[in-house]
Amino acid sequence: MADVHHEVVFFSGHVQGVGFRYTVLQVAKEFEVAGFVSNVADGRVQLEAEGAAAEVSAFVDSVVEKMHGYIRKSERAGRLRPAQFRGFTIR
C-alpha cells in the first residue's frame, strides 16, 4: 500500500466541553481523510488525520477556521507513512 500524508495536531485553549470533537467529525465528512479526534488528559484535543497532503492540510485548516474562537494554540507535525486508519472517528 502506498504511503499517505499523516498529520498529528494538538489543539489547546478552550477546546474540551464545547463540541470541538463533534465539530471536527462533521468537518471530516467534507474531506477525503481518515483518522480520529480525542480529548487528552491535560486539556488539549488531539487530531490525527491521513490522506493526500493537500486534503489533510485543507481539513486541518477548515477545523482551525471553524473553531478559531476556542483555539489558543495548535501544534502540527506531519510525515509520510503507510495508511493506518479507516474512516474518521471520535475516541
Check which CATH number belongs to the domain holding 70 and give it.
3.30.70.100
Which position among 39, 44, 79, 91 bears the catalytic label? 39
Band of residue 77 on the pLDDT scale cut at 50, 70, 90: very high
Q: Does residue 88 fall inside a structural domain? A: no
CB count in 10 Å sphere of residue 51: 22
Q: Does residue 26 fall inside a structural domain? A: yes
| Residue 34 reports pLDDT greater than 90 | yes
Q: 9 pairs with which residues across the strands?
A: 47, 76
Q: Is the pTM of this model over 0.85?
A: yes
Concatenating the DSSP letter of every residue in 53-84 gives HHHHHHHHHHHHHHTTTTEEEEEEEEEEEE--
Q: Does residue 89 fall inside a structural domain? A: no
Provide the residue type at 55 as one letter.
Answer: E
Q: Does residue 37 fall inside a structural domain? A: yes
Number of domains in the chain: 1
Domain that holds residue 79: 3-83
Question: Is residue 76 among the annotated active site residues?
Answer: no
Which position among 21, 72, 81, 91 bears the catalytic label? 21
Provide the residue type at 85 as one letter.
Answer: F
Question: Is residue 39 among the annotated active site residues?
Answer: yes
Q: Does residue 30 fall inside a structural domain? A: yes
